[in-house]
Amino acid sequence: MAKKNVQGAVVSAIAKKGKIDVKGIDLKQLVTGFLVEQEHNGKMGADTKIVYKPEDSLKIAVAHLREIGDYYTRLEKIENEAKS
């Protein structure tokens, strides 16, 4: 799982800049989600390189968290179980 060293203020600033509604979303989940989605940035797919703006990564995190409020906690649990 991604390091949680991004401050909530930074993620909030990205949300403001991108006009992304993050009301009602847990800030810890949001920061974690942003970092997880940023992990995909710059990775090569089968025939293309994925490049996200920070706002894009945040939008993806918000979409996941609107569906499942603890999405990234669950994801971390699944990843940890897979490693053991």
* pTM, 2 dp: 0.82
In terms of C-beta density within 10 A (0-12 exposed, 13-18 middle, 19 or more buried), how is residue 42 classed? Answer: exposed
- d(C-alpha 14, C-alpha 30), whole Å: 11
> What are the structural domain ranges in the chain?
8-83
pLDDT (tens, 9 = 90+) of the chain, 84 residues, equals 444 445 788 999 999 999 999 999 999 999 999 999 988 877 766 677 777 889 999 999 999 999 999 999 999 999 999 998
d(CA 71, CA 78) in angstroms, rounded, equals 11
Q: Of all residues in the chain, what percent are helix, strand and coil, respectively (each to 5)?
A: 60, 0, 40
Cα three-residue angle 41-60-83, rounded to 5 degrees: 65
